[in-house]
Amino acid sequence: MYRSILRRLTPDRKLYLAIPQDIHQDFFLQPAIQDITSDQNLQLIIFDPDRETILQWIPA
């Protein structure tokens, strides 16, 4: 719902889902989850919560 509203209000803005590196490794790299993120055109930011740094930007 948030993504739909944001798209209507500011269509040029890109929305990213920020996830910690360990969650990305343990969950988001599973083939079924990769299919879902691709189907939903999710853009991801992978970050290290301990160092508070962005490790990777993954566009849709």
- At residue 32, the pLDDT reads 97
- Give a three-class secondary structure readout of 6-49: HHHHCCCCCCEEEEEHHHHHHHHCCHHHHHHHHHCCCEEEEEEC
User: Side-chain half-sphere of 27: how many Cα atoms within 13 Å?
Assistant: 9
pLDDT (0 to 100) of residue 49 = 97
Q: Is 50 helix (H, G, I), strand (E, B) or coil?
A: coil
Starting at the edge strand found earlier in the chain, the sheet holding 43-48 runs 16-20, 43-48, 53-58
- Local confidence pLDDT in tens for the 60 residues of the chain: 888 999 999 999 989 999 999 999 999 999 999 999 999 999 999 999 999 999 999 998
pLDDT in the model for residue 60: 85
